[in-house]
Amino acid sequence: MTSSQAMPPEGRYVQAGPIRMHALEYGDAAGPVVVFVHGSGPGNSAYANFQFNIEAFVEAGFRVILPDMIGFGYSDKPLDMGDYTLDLFCDTLMAGLKALDVSSCIFVGNSLGAGVAIQIALNHPEFVNKLVLMGPGCIDEQANYFQMPGIAKMMATSQAGIDQDNLGDVLRHFVVDPSHVSRELIDMRWAVAKDQPREVLTTMKTPNLGPRLVELTCPILTLWGADDAFMPPAGKQLCLHANDKSRLLEINSCGHWVMIEYSRLFNVTAIDFILND
C-alpha cells in the first residue's frame, strides 16, 4: 500500500471560526442534511469512522457531510487555543457547518462526536432535527471514562507515544472482532496520527451532560455495543429515558464501533429512524 492509498480522501476546506476545517460531502445537495460527527482517539477522521455508512445514506436521499473536527483528520490542530474542551469542538463545528450553508441537520455521532451533538442540541435545539448516538460520550464524569479499560489503554499509549506498531493494539480495543481493524484502517489512521499533537487527546476536557439529557426535545436513537470498553454502562438508561421520543438498541458481541462492526444493521436502523420515527 502506498502512502497516498493510506490517506483518507480529501474534500473541501472551510473557515470554521479561528481554524480551517476539512469536510467531505456526498449525495443530494438539496436533500435533508445528515452530519456524521466522529469520535476521538489517535489519528481519527470522519472518513475512518463512517466510511461504511456513506453509500447507504446517499442512496436514501440525504446530503451527507463528514467534517473532521478540530484536532483531527485534515482539520487544523492548534496548540495555542488552550485545552481541547467540548465547547471548542462545538463552536468550531457549528462555525464550519454554517460555512457549509447548513441551517439544520440530523446528527449522527459516535463517542466524543455524540457528546458534541448532544451539546449542540442543548444549545441550539432549533438546529438539530434528530440525534443518532453510538456509545455517546460526555454523559458521565470524565474520571469514570478514564477508568474504562479501552480509554485507559488509549490514554496510556498516547502519553507514551503512538507509533505505527502500537496503533493497531489500541484500535482493537474498540471492537469485539479484531478483523474489523484492518491494515488499511491502521494505515489510514497512522497517516493522521503521526502529525497529530498528543495534546489533542491529553488535554481533552468534557463535562457530564448526563443530567441534562432530559432537556432534549428531539427524537433520539442510541445504539450501544454490549461489549463497549469505552463507555460506562450506566449511560444506557440515561439515553433510553432522555425523553418519550428516545429509543435504545443494544447489540450483543459488539464494541464501541457499532457503525463499523455492524454497519448494515446500523445503516438500516438509523435510516428507518430518521425517515419514519
Mean pLDDT of 38-51: 96
- pLDDT tens-place string over residues 206-236: 999 999 999 999 999 999 999 999 999 999 9
pLDDT tier at 3, thresholds 50, 70, 90 = very low
One-character DSSP codes across 138-192: SSS-HHHHHTSHHHHHHHHHHHH---HHHHHHHHGGG-SSGGGS-HHHHHHHHHH
Residue 55, judged by CB atoms within 10 A of its CB (0-12, 13-18, 19+), counts as middle
Q: Is the per-residue pLDDT at 187 higher than 60?
A: yes
pLDDT tier at 48, thresholds 50, 70, 90 = very high
Mean pLDDT of 59-65: 98
Q: Using an 8 Å Cβ cutoff, are 206 and 112 in contact?
A: yes
pLDDT tier at 2, thresholds 50, 70, 90 = very low
Q: Is the per-residue pLDDT at 127 higher than 90?
A: yes
- Output the pLDDT for position 46: 98
Handedness of CA 236, 237, 241, 242 (dihedral sign): negative
Domain positions in the chain are 3-276
- pLDDT tens-place string over residues 94-121: 999 999 999 999 999 999 999 999 999 9
Output the pTM of the full model.
0.95
C-alpha cell belonging to residue 134: 453510538
Q: Using an 8 Å Cβ cutoff, are 116 and 207 in contact?
A: no
**Contact residues for 26 (Cβ-Cβ < 8 A; gap 6+):** 54, 57, 58, 63, 64, 66
Type of residue numbered 84: Y
Exactly one of 22, 38, 180, 256 is catalytic; which is it? 256
256 is catalytic: yes
Q: Using an 8 Å Cβ cutoff, are 45 and 74 in contact?
A: yes
pLDDT tier at 1, thresholds 50, 70, 90 = very low
- Output the pLDDT for position 50: 98
Q: Is the per-residue pLDDT at 158 higher than 90?
A: no
Q: Tell me what the pLDDT averaged over the chain comes to.
A: 95
Which range is least confidently modeled, 26-40, 44-58, 162-176?
162-176
Q: Measure the CA dihedral 187/263/156/67, to 10°.
A: 70
pLDDT tier at 155, thresholds 50, 70, 90 = confident
Superfamily for the 3-276 domain: Alpha/Beta hydrolase fold, catalytic domain (3.40.50.1820)
- pLDDT tens-place string over residues 253-271: 999 999 999 999 999 999 9
